[in-house]
Amino acid sequence: MARAGGALTTQGAAAIATKAGARFLGQAIAPALVAGDLARNPWHVAKNRADKTGVILGDLIARTDSESYVLIGHSLGARLMVVAAEVLGTKPGGPRIQAAHLLGTAIGASSNWDALTAAVDEGVYGYPVA
């Protein structure tokens, strides 16, 4: 009987160790799986591309000789215009943004708009899309 009890204790310890190992492994791998899902999510990929393109557009506009621009964009294009305007706002002596017209902007309403409004002279006009 003592032998059977020892076997049960060993099996119980093995089961607990297996569950603990699975829990630890799950906690270690879960963030990587979430990051992998985000990286493959088409919407997330498109937002990242819009942000990168906005930085490039802002740098290109900063190299021009014009004094001011009016930016117009829809959805991810509006997001791109926001990033471009914010980039231009950080470049002293470069062209200014006269106005920005943003239709159905792909940015949350609770975002910080201070950098954008500081970069635009006349105003930022938002047009929600129903």
pLDDT value, residue 40 = 82
Which one-letter amino acid corresponds to residue 3? R
Per-residue model confidence as pLDDT tens digits over 54-75: 999 999 999 999 999 999 999 9
End-to-end CA distance of the chain: 74
Contact between 123 and 98 (Cβ < 8 Å): no
Neighbours of 104 (CB within 10 A): 16
**What pTM was estimated for this model as a whole?**
0.69
| DSSP notation for 41-76 | -HHHHHHHHHHHHHHHHHHHHHTSS-SEEEEEEETH
List the chain domain ranges. Answer: 1-40, 50-127
Q: What are the pLDDT tens digits along the chain (130 aa)?
A: 555 555 556 666 666 766 665 566 566 666 665 666 666 889 999 999 999 999 999 999 999 999 999 999 999 999 999 999 999 999 888 899 999 999 999 988 788 888 898 899 999 999 988 7
Which one-letter amino acid corresponds to residue 59? D
The secondary element (H helix, E strand) that includes residue 18 is helix 2-40
CA–CA distance, 52 with 47 (Å, rounded to integer)? 9
Nearest to 100 by CA among 91, 87, 44, 46: 87
